[in-house]
């Protein structure tokens, strides 16, 4: 049930409203959105957390690269003010609020809008998906996340410590770095899922149980979800590569190709996992069949040996007045010999049938 | 049976007639069609229900945007008069009557013809599909529905109350708004179906029964139907986006992209649901197998314990004259000990086999 | 077996012959081919049945539209004479004879060759397929059918009675009308098959039997056959739409689009039927499983109740000399109480397992 | 096992060698290759079998059409000499030797290289595949076969007896005629397989046995093999159609279209057969299930009737001293009535369950 | 479990690092990388193993063809130095380290980067995959392998012994020869797998066991892995064919077409194997079903014969005082005749049912 909810959550909330009406669609949250500004160029670096959205406005036209990150998209007015100042189209603002977007990129001349899913593991067994919207302008990047906490800490460190080439590049490289960080994290998910599938396979061999089946089913649904997040990414990134927007410089393009390769790799592994899972399901079903077979064989062996014996015993339990065998001296012994012979015959028969 | 009828209903009625012959193909209805006219521009708004189709004619060439909505397509003469006045091609009129169209758009230079399915939930378990034909002219929109009642009430409110930008835009935006309203409603359907699938999954775990299977089958058919309505929409909308007709202004184009995204999202979720359903079916079949297994195990355990015991009891029920055990003092006790030992052996055997 | 024969019938007969060798490939027939000529323009109409194929020759270059229909393609010389006079390529003549063509269109500059399947219901349960070849020249249409009897009667009426626009249009419109008539008839087939599938579904719920399975299998094969006839039609018609031949006027093109839509609709419904059928098969298989389960449960309940009881009875049927219970006054009563208790315990166990 | 060998036979033999190294890869043979030369134009015809490959060399530049056919590709030196004289690329020679080529065509400016599979029935149940390489030069055709015996006898007759147009056409038409002859033979295979599938279906209904399953499996593998031979043919022939080589004249192109149609038809029927086979497999599996059901029902009916009866008999076989019924006069009669009643009750129960 | 690890091994290790950060991702190794230099032109040949990576630097600009092969990619500094000297892009160096690349080619103007999988059989049952990176410059080829040992020994011999044309060609031909050698080796894998599948099929017929199923499952996974290695190769090689880089001369292009054909052949056979395997799985499942059927039949036959007999014996074991049959002279004989008759009846019934 939880899985279905993930997919179709509150899809209908906005139906019937005017396009561009800003309504937050997603899980309800109460925390105040957190706005972080990182502003840098080759030589300078400045990081600040602001309370008031208006404090971001001045960064729009500075020559330095500015990264404004908003954790929490449930406060309509903050997003709206920011969006208006940075000239976002109403439909873009609507998409930022609507936390069920299909990954896509849209080129609005003066900025590029990117929306995708950030995934990370909450705990051992379940991963969490969060929608990230990225608005890439000429010298700024706005990023919108649903909650605090993300996969960008390494990136922040790199900017701060002048590690890598990021301080020498423009906002397009920053946007690429965000994408790269998100896609790299998919590999962690993929690896964890790989471990879980391997575990399923192990359990299958040791002791197949209905829980194994449930595990296969859950894993299948995880993969369906993951696939929905990853497949459109290919289109998204090749859209960025092909874009004619001057915001994305060709020097960044070669890096996009790298992310694109990673995306294909992830998509590829997901398909492979699906193939493997369907193989595991086949084995599970077949091993259930085999267990049934074994049960039936046991029953058949016991029953086919003892039913004839019981019949023979029943015969000599009859009370006919004239039953010559009953009076024989070695009748009882003879009947035991008959019992032995029947058992032996059956045993040989089962042997030949390879049931024993 | 009902489902099949939905798809292939009266398809053959028109076979053999001249193309353009106007015959209503769809469910028979008797109510008089209801004609509603909404005429507006930035400053004026006028709404009227007319009885006579001729009253619509004057709106064709006014500079204001006119939306003529006809509820009921079973009266041939009304549609014919309207069609002739607005210069509709005979094939378009035929398609309006024929309530089994595949969603499509056709560009007839002076107007664009759009036909698609409007879906809404009648009650908890079943949704209703109705064919909506939209004719988009330079400054008018004609919409044809099968019955009264639709998903456009919010839109009517927005026009009336000058909410949103609709009063500042042309007829193409109105057509877009109609499409948007219909597609937004698909999300409600999708969400409801999601709930129903979640419920199926729950029932599956608690108590799988043949009814669950029937439920899975019905849901599958609903999804097949839904898919048939949604898939062609993608082509329809991208056809509108690519059209070179001057009726569709480029300023409306960006909104179409939004509807297109929604359509893809709906189509995507439908595919996901299908994947999930097929997983649910696998679990159902496997749980039926498991129940069988359990039944067989019970039988086997009882039978394999008691059949040998019964045999032993049968042996000592034999009436041979010479059966030394019968005369032993502790024969009866011994036989009970034998019973116990056999039972214990069987119990240990089943334990090792993990059947207990 | 009959179905396979339909598909691969006499395919090999021609192997090894020179291309263009005229050999009739199809079911053997003996009746004399029937040649019907309908010649018309806006004002004149003339219909005649001729015995001698040479009588058709004069119509080739008249300005009126001439429709020459040949019922029966097994007489090589007639087709050959006609073909030679009308300048048909040897390969076209070969295709006309060869009654197993895949639907296709070929543009031979001075004429267009179209071949497709005409379908109609013979009786309630089985439909009949016949190959129709259409040669569309500048002002004539030749049509070749395997046997007398077709779906064109309505069309003939319309030409005769000046109903519809057909009398004002050229030979291309006539060819379109033939196509339209054939495709419209597919809807009747589709609807009938829909009824049969609905019936299968009903029978499935009431009483699934091996006959139901056979019915599903037959229906599947019917759909496979139908699909083979319909899918290539899409290519055929879009080939006609795209053709640069002056024979097909652009004014007829919009009508072709209509036939194309119908073809897509038919193909679409066939796919839907296949999906539904595979769902029905799943239900059938599962209901067979369920019946098995029920049988096994009955056996298990009876056996697990009575086998222990029989054992107890067997115990007191033993002939040990020293069996104290046998001498108890209420021994017999006690044993009945034991019987009752065992039965009750089993009953409660089955209850908890939900087998009762 | 045999089937797998057919596919992957000796694939690895050449690994690690320089490209163009001539090693025969295929089944080992010892017979001397047979070289046949047919040389003709409109008026002359000459046929000869030569022992020495050098005798072919003079035909390369004659204006007549020359068809050199080599039966047996295992003699490296013969092929090498011929190849060198006719200017074949080393890779082409390698492909001729390597009897596991995927059907393809390659345009080497001065000649076109075609390789495909020739199929024919050896006996009733199994068909034989042989690789045929065709080298089409300006006025010569070289054909290389694995063994003697082919499907070209009709063609040879036609050339000899001036039947058909072949004597008036160039070497490209000869190459087409070879292709046509090979593809026409596929229809014979297809028809035979159709018969075998029909037979499988018949056997299925009469008496499904594990042999039927093996038959289905074998047929499936035959179709897989056939498909591998036919699918690439489409590409091959459309490659020939599109080639800009002057060797293939446009007058021959229309004939290629005919072969292309045939190839599509064959491919189409193969797919249909696969669909039918999978339906047959479903029926087989289900009929196995049904037989199991019947077995179980028989057991259940017998057991559930007699187990309670046996219990009753067991009760009155007990040796309690005080058992009042035993002393009743009509006790024995009464117990028989009880037997009857139990049987009747069971019978009615089974009736209601529709097991009888 | 091992299989999953192969696919997703250490994918996540690099997540969060700056692009171009050199971290070896792959199995940990400790051996020192081995650097081999082969330098040749038409007349000269020189081979050396160097310890110090700087010794390679001088070969970059010599007119001779230089092949530098590095076995072991786990030493970051060696690769880094080499990469810097030869002007490799940081992302290329990253890909060389990262041993989980999807096969691909990338054109960096002054060199072409190719990465693919080299496969070979370790022992009878399992093949080994190793990533090979090839950097093709104007007159040098760098190749990077994970471990020592490869499929290039034949190639080295050919270069050394001036066999084949390789000594007359440039570095592009050398790169082709490497690709060719790797792809040729796939045929060995394919053939081995073919043998293993044939063996599976044999075992299936002789004695289907759960191990067979495990074997099918493992083989399926091998094929999935193989497919992942082979499919992207098609794109890789056609990328090389289409590249406009002057490094790849058109004279080498025809050889690429040959490799491309081989790749398609391998991919084709893999698909065929998958089809065959799924057929084998069907047979396995069905034969398990059949064995169950046989078990059930045995049980049913024994039980349905002896249960009624036991009942009859039970009847005459009752202790009623008045049981006339018991006193008949031939009562005992009669009851044996009854036993015979029941057995005979049952036997005939089973005969008719074809269970015996």
- Please give the pLDDT value at position D285: 85
Among D102, D281, D313, the residue with its CB nearest the CB of E314 is D313
pLDDT digits (tens, 9 = 90+) for A259-269: 999 999 999 99
Report yes or no: A324 and E331 within 8 Å, Cβ to Cβ: no
Instruction: Using the predicted structure, report yes or no on whether residue C242 has a pLDDT greater than 90.
Output: no
Q: What span, in angstroms and rounded, lies between the C-alpha atoms of D167 and D79?
A: 28
- Please give the pLDDT value at position E2: 46
First to last CA, chain A: 45
Q: Is some CB atom of chain D closer than 8 A to the CB atom of E255?
A: yes
Report yes or no: D247 and D171 within 8 Å, Cβ to Cβ: yes
Number of H helices, E strands in chain E: 9, 7
CB < 8 Å to A323, chain E: 332
Pair (B267, B324) in one structural domain: no
Q: State the nearest Cα–Cα gap between C194 and chain B, in angstroms.
A: 6
CB < 8 Å to D102, chain E: 261, 264-265, 268
> Taking CA C211 as the corner, what is the angle to CA C209 and CA C214, rounded to the nearest 5 degrees?
125
Domain boundary among C286, C302, C331: C286
Q: State the nearest Cα–Cα gap between B315 and chain C, in angstroms.
A: 8
- Please give the pLDDT value at position E263: 93
- Please give the pLDDT value at position B16: 59
Under 8 Å CB-to-CB from B186, ≥6 apart: which residues? B119, B226, B230, B262, B266
Q: State the nearest Cα–Cα gap between E285 and chain A, in angstroms.
A: 7
Pair (C272, C167) in one structural domain: yes
E174 in a structural domain: yes
* C-alpha closest to that of A156 among A240, A69, A86: A69
Q: What span, in angstroms and rounded, lies between the C-alpha atoms of A33 and A148?
A: 8
Under 8 Å CB-to-CB from B71, ≥6 apart: which residues? B33, B34, B35, B36, B145, B146, B147, B148, B149, B150
Q: What span, in angstroms and rounded, lies between the C-alpha atoms of B143 and B179?
A: 11
CATH number of the domain at A88, please.
Answer: 3.30.460.20
Dihedral (CA of D344, D350, D353, D356) sign: negative
Among A334-343, B67-76, E15-24, E165-174, the least confident range: E15-24
Domain boundary among C261, C286, C311: C286
Pair (E179, E302) in one structural domain: no
Pair (D326, D190) in one structural domain: no
Q: What span, in angstroms and rounded, lies between the C-alpha atoms of A194 and B205?
A: 26
pLDDT digits (tens, 9 = 90+) for C142-172: 999 988 878 888 889 888 887 678 888 889 9
Pair (B173, B320) in one structural domain: no
Instruction: Using the predicted structure, report yes or no on whether residue E71 has a pLDDT greater than 50.
Output: yes
Residue with the two structure tokens 């194309």: C260
CATH number of the domain at B307, please.
Answer: 1.20.58.340
E87 in a structural domain: yes
Instruction: Using the predicted structure, report yes or no on whether residue B354 has a pLDDT greater than 80.
Output: yes
CB < 8 Å to D18, chain E: 158, 163-166
E292 in a structural domain: no
Q: State the nearest Cα–Cα gap between A8 and chain B, in angstroms.
A: 6
3-state SS string for chain B: CHHHHHHHCCHHHHCCCCCCCCCCECCCCCCCCEEEEEEECCCCEEEEEECCHHHHHHHHHCCCEEEEEEECCCCHHHHHHHHHHCCCCHHHHHHHHECCCCCEEEEECCEEEEEEEEEEECCCCCEEEEEEEEEECCCEEEEEECCCCCCCHHHHHHHHCCCCCHHHCCHHHHHHHHHHHHHHHHHHHHHHHHHHHHHHHHHHHHCCCHHHHHHHHHHHHHHHHHHHHHHHHHHHHHHHHHCCCCCCCHHHHHHHHHHHHHHHHHHHHHHHHHHHHHHHHHHHHHHHHHHHHHHHHHHHHHHHHHHHHHHHHHHCCCCCCCCHHHHCCCHHHHHHHHHHHHHHHHHHHHHHCCCC
Under 8 Å CB-to-CB from D83, ≥6 apart: which residues? D92, D93, D96
Give the whole-number percent of chain C exceeding pLDDT 90.
Answer: 32
Dig out the tokens for B265 from the structure: 């999202």
Mean predicted confidence (pLDDT) in B74-84? 86
Domain count across chain D: 2
Pair (B93, B139) in one structural domain: yes
Whole-number mean pLDDT of chain E?
85
Whole-model pTM: value is 0.83
Band of pLDDT at residue C2, cut at 50, 70 and 90: very low
- Residue ranges of B 211-240 with Cβ closer than 8 A to chain C: 213-214, 217, 220-221, 224, 228
Q: Which residue of E has its CA nearest to A319?
A: E317
Interchain proximity B302–C297, CB inside 8 Å: no
CB < 8 Å to C168, chain B: none
- Residue ranges of C 80-119 with Cβ closer than 8 A to chain D: 89, 91, 94, 100-102, 104, 106
Among D257, D289, D319, the residue with its CB nearest the CB of C288 is D289
Dihedral (CA of D141, D147, D151, D156) sign: positive
> Taking CA D318 as the corner, what is the angle to CA D314 and CA D323, rounded to the nearest 5 degrees?
115
Among A1-5, B95-99, C134-138, the least confident range: A1-5
- Please give the pLDDT value at position A245: 86
Among C257, C319, C323, the residue with its CB nearest the CB of B319 is C319
* Backbone torsions φ then ψ of B292, nearest 5 degrees: -55, -45
Interchain proximity E258–D91, CB inside 8 Å: yes
Q: Which residue of C has its CA nearest to B227?
A: C272
pLDDT digits (tens, 9 = 90+) for C210-240: 888 888 888 998 898 899 889 999 999 999 9
Pair (C243, C341) in one structural domain: no
Q: Is some CB atom of chain C closer than 8 A to the CB atom of D292?
A: yes
pLDDT digits (tens, 9 = 90+) for E209-266: 888 888 888 899 889 889 988 999 999 999 998 888 888 888 888 889 889 999 999 9
Among C210, C307, C316, the residue with its CB nearest the CB of D318 is C316
Which residue out of E153, E251, E279, E308 would a mutagenesis test of the D interface target, given it has the greatest number of D Cβ atoms within 10 Å? Answer: E279
Among A26-35, A286-295, C276-285, E303-312, the least confident range: A26-35
CA dihedral A153, A158, A161, A165 (to 10 degrees): -170
E187 in a structural domain: yes
Q: Is some CB atom of chain D closer than 8 A to the CB atom of E269?
A: yes
Q: What span, in angstroms and rounded, lies between the C-alpha atoms of C88 and C344?
A: 89
For residue C135, give Cα distances in angstroms to C82, E74, E210: 11, 72, 62
Residue with the two structure tokens 């003709």: D40
Give the whole-number percent of chain B exceeding pLDDT 90.
Answer: 31
Which residue out of E157, E315, E328, E345 would a mutagenesis test of the D interface target, given it has the greatest number of D Cβ atoms within 10 Å? Answer: E315
Band of pLDDT at residue E16, cut at 50, 70 and 90: low
D44 C-beta neighbours (distance < 10 Å), count:
9
Pair (A167, A20) in one structural domain: yes
Q: Which residue of B has its CA nearest to A11?
A: B187
Give E321 or C4, the one with higher predicted confidence: E321
- Please give the pLDDT value at position C259: 92
Per-10-residue mean pLDDT, chain D, length 356: 50 60 63 88 90 87 91 84 91 86 90 91 74 93 88 87 82 93 90 88 79 87 89 91 86 88 91 90 85 87 91 91 86 91 93 84
Q: What span, in angstroms and rounded, lies between the C-alpha atoms of D201 and B125?
A: 42
Report yes or no: C270 and C193 within 8 Å, Cβ to Cβ: no
Instruction: Using the predicted structure, report yes or no on whether residue A91 has a pLDDT greater than 60.
Output: yes
Pair (D8, D123) in one structural domain: yes
* C-alpha closest to that of E118 among E150, E144, E93: E150
Under 8 Å CB-to-CB from C95, ≥6 apart: which residues? C101, C113, C115, C133
Q: Which residue of C has its CA nearest to D286?
A: C285
* C-alpha closest to that of C319 among D295, A317, D68, A61: A317
Q: What span, in angstroms and rounded, lies between the C-alpha atoms of D339 and D313?
A: 9
Q: Which contiguous run of DSSP H or E holds residue C39?
A: strand C34-40
Which residue out of C318, C331, C352, C353 would a mutagenesis test of the B interface target, given it has the greatest number of B Cβ atoms within 10 Å? Answer: C318
* C-alpha closest to that of A175 among A118, A247, A103: A247
Tell me the pairing of strands D34-40 and C104-108: unpaired
- Please give the pLDDT value at position B78: 85
Interchain proximity A282–E281, CB inside 8 Å: yes
Q: What span, in angstroms and rounded, lies between the C-alpha atoms of C344 and D278?
A: 49
Mean predicted confidence (pLDDT) in B262-283? 90
Q: State the nearest Cα–Cα gap between D252 and chain C, in angstroms.
A: 12
Pair (C222, C296) in one structural domain: no
Band of pLDDT at residue E37, cut at 50, 70 and 90: very high
Interchain proximity B181–A16, CB inside 8 Å: yes
E122 in a structural domain: yes
> Taking CA C64 as the corner, what is the angle to CA C63 and CA C65, rounded to the nearest 5 degrees?
120
Q: What span, in angstroms and rounded, lies between the C-alpha atoms of B219 and B230?
A: 16
Q: Is some CB atom of chain C closer than 8 A to the CB atom of B1?
A: yes
Among E197, E269, E315, the residue with its CB nearest the CB of D313 is E315
Among A62-71, A234-243, B57-66, C21-30, the least confident range: C21-30
Query: Domain span at residue B116?
Result: 2-286
Instruction: Using the predicted structure, report yes or no on whether residue B8 has a pLDDT greater than 80.
Output: no
Among A233-247, B155-169, C18-32, C271-285, the least confident range: C18-32
Q: Is some CB atom of chain A closer than 8 A to the CB atom of B164?
A: yes
Interchain proximity B296–A294, CB inside 8 Å: no
- Please give the pLDDT value at position C183: 92
Whole-number mean pLDDT of chain C?
85
Q: What span, in angstroms and rounded, lies between the C-alpha atoms of E142 and E241?
A: 20
Domain boundary among A241, A257, A286: A286
Q: Is some CB atom of chain A closer than 8 A to the CB atom of B322?
A: yes
Q: Is some CB atom of chain B closer than 8 A to the CB atom of A187?
A: no
Pair (C112, C241) in one structural domain: yes
CB < 8 Å to C323, chain B: 332
Residue with the two structure tokens 């190709």: A257
Which residue out of E108, E225, E298, E320 would a mutagenesis test of the A interface target, given it has the greatest number of A Cβ atoms within 10 Å? Answer: E298
pLDDT digits (tens, 9 = 90+) for E92-132: 998 888 878 889 999 988 999 999 999 877 666 677 888 99
* C-alpha closest to that of D354 among C299, C208, C285, B288: C208
pLDDT digits (tens, 9 = 90+) for B332-353: 899 999 999 999 999 999 999 8
Q: What span, in angstroms and rounded, lies between the C-alpha atoms of E185 and B46?
A: 79
Pair (D225, D303) in one structural domain: no
Q: What span, in angstroms and rounded, lies between the C-alpha atoms of B203 and D320?
A: 53
Q: Is some CB atom of chain D closer than 8 A to the CB atom of C15?
A: yes
Under 8 Å CB-to-CB from A259, ≥6 apart: which residues? A176, A179, A180, A183, A237
How many residues comprise chain B? 356
E strand segments, chain D: 34-40, 45-50, 65-71, 104-108, 111-121, 127-136, 140-145
Among D197, D201, D268, the residue with its CB nearest the CB of C102 is D268
Dig out the tokens for E261 from the structure: 């054909």
Q: What span, in angstroms and rounded, lies between the C-alpha atoms of B119 and B6?
A: 13
């Amino acid at each position: 049930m939880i899985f279905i909810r993930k997919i179709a959550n509150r899809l209908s909330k906005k139906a019937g409203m005017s396009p561009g009406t800003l309504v937050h669609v997603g899980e309800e949250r109460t925390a105040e959105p957190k706005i972080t500004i990182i502003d840098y160029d080759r030589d300078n670096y400045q990081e600040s957390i602001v309370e008031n959205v208006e404090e971001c406005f001045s960064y729009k036209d500075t020559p330095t690269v500015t990264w404004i990150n908003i954790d929490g998209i449930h406060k309509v007015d903050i997003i709206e003010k920011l969006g208006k100042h940075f000239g976002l189209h109403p439909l873009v603002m609507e998409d930022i609020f609507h936390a069920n977007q299909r990954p896509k990129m849209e080129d609005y001349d003066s900025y590029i809008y990117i929306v995708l899913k950030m995934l990370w593991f909450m705990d051992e067994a379940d991963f969490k998906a969060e929608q990230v919207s990225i608005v890439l302008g000429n010298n700024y990047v706005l990023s919108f996340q649903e909650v605090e906490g993300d996969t960008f800490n390494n990136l922040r460190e790199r900017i701060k410590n002048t590690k890598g080439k990021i301080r020498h590049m423009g906002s397009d490289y920053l946007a690429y770095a965000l994408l790269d960080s998100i896609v790299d994290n998919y590999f962690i998910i993929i690896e964890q899922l790989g471990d879980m599938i391997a575990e399923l396979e192990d359990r299958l061999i040791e002791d197949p149980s209905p829980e194994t089946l449930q595990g296969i089913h859950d894993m299948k649904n995880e993969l369906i979800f993951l696939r929905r997040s990853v497949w459109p990414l290919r289109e998204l990134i090749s859209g960025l590569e092909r874009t004619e927007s001057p915001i994305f410089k060709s020097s960044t393009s070669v890096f996009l190709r790298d992310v694109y390769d990673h995306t294909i790799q992830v998509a590829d592994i997901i398909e492979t996992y699906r193939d493997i899972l369907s193989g595991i399901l086949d084995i599970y079903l077949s091993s259930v069949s085999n267990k049934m077979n074994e049960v039936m064989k046991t029953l058949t062996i016991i029953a086919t040996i003892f039913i004839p014996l019981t019949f023979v015993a029943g015969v000599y339990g009859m009370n006919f007045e004239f039953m010559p065998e009953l009076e024989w001296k070695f009748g009882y012994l003879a009947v035991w010999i008959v019992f032995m012979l029947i058992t032996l015959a059956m045993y040989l028969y089962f042997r030949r049938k390879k049931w024993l």
